[in-house]
Amino acid sequence: DAGVTQSPTHLIKTRGQQVTLRCSPKSGHDTVSWYQQALGQGPQFIFQYYEEEERQRGNFPDRFSGHQFPNYSSELNVNALLLGDSALYLCASSERLAGNTDTQYFGPGTRLTVL
Amino acid sequence: LAKTTQPISMDSYEGQEVNITCSHNNIATNDYITWYQQFPSQGPRFIIQGYKTKVTNEVASLFIPADRKSSTLSLPRVSLSDTAVYYCLVGDLYIYNQGGKLIFGQGTELSVKP
């Protein structure tokens, strides 16, 4: 049973470009959250998707947008890239079920470098 | 979520027991304490979770005093492969189990030497 998978592993872009990162949740999970982790810092919550809608959002500008597909996979889009967007982007999945005793699972991340 | 404070870094040697303490003075009644481990260029991995007293699993133990204002993650007989960043988080179970927003601090960078 595959865990959370993300693609690509690494990505290099230049300022002003747009990027799309992808995430497939763990089998049986229906909720996907995205985090940004700058070097030396803890992950910062970007937003969460459930039932193909954004349910929670962290303190990130509108340049960051997302999508969830009917198969629960998700995309993170970042427009007008800035140097400060260089980071490890993490996807976490979970099952939004009352009484669920399992925890969130993180993927390996996508390392984005903006030049 | 309650703010947490933990040491920025710790050093240890192989075979030693390592204890990492986290302070969370403003913990709420419904909050649980959860620890995550993160290796370089990988996502955080759940280690252990508890509400009070002591919890033990195959990886670690978690000690929580009666006032719950702090907690201690104990790693028995560490090896080089335990070198990682360890995060202490506090929040209600919904956040961990149903995909709520996790708030990470800077974590504790543990370095295990031979």
Q: What is the arithmetic mean of pLDDT over A69-78?
A: 97
* Under 8 Å between Cβ of A3 and A104: no
- Quote the CATH superfamily of domain B9-113: Immunoglobulins (2.60.40.10)
Does position A90 have pLDDT exceeding 70, yes or no?
yes
Q: What is the mean pLDDT of chain A?
A: 93
The pLDDT, as a whole number, for residue A1 is 60
Average the pLDDT over each of A10-14, B21-25, B103-107 and give the range with the smallest value: B103-107
Question: Which letter does DSSP use for residue B97 in this model?
Answer: H
Pairing state between β A10-13 and A110-114:
parallel
Does position B101 have pLDDT exceeding 90, yes or no?
no
Q: What is the arithmetic mean of pLDDT over A82-101?
A: 88
Residues of chain A contacting residue B103, judged by C-beta atoms under 8 Å apart: 45
Q: How far apart are CA B96 and CA B86, in angstroms?
A: 16
Distance from CA of B51 to the nearest CA of A (A): 14
The pLDDT, as a whole number, for residue A99 is 67
**Model confidence band, residue B2 (pLDDT cutoffs 50, 70, 90):** low
* Under 8 Å between Cβ of B99 and B9: no
Q: How many of the other CB atoms lie within 10 Å of CB of A37?
A: 20
Domain boundaries, chain A: 5-114
Minimal-distance CA residue of chain B relative to A95: B98
Best mutation site among A29, A104, A110 for testing chain B: the one with the most B CBs within 10 Å? A104
The reply to whether A108 touches chain B by the CB within 8 Å rule is: yes
The pLDDT, as a whole number, for residue B95 is 76
Q: What is the arithmetic mean of pLDDT over A32-53?
A: 94
The pLDDT, as a whole number, for residue A97 is 76
Minimal-distance CA residue of chain B relative to A97: B98
A5-114 topology per CATH: Immunoglobulin-like (2.60.40)
The reply to whether A25 touches chain B by the CB within 8 Å rule is: no
User: Which two tokens mark B19?
Assistant: 């204890």
The pLDDT, as a whole number, for residue A96 is 81
Average the pLDDT over each of A20-34, B38-52, B97-111 and give the range with the smallest value: B97-111
User: Which two tokens mark B15?
Assistant: 């075979």
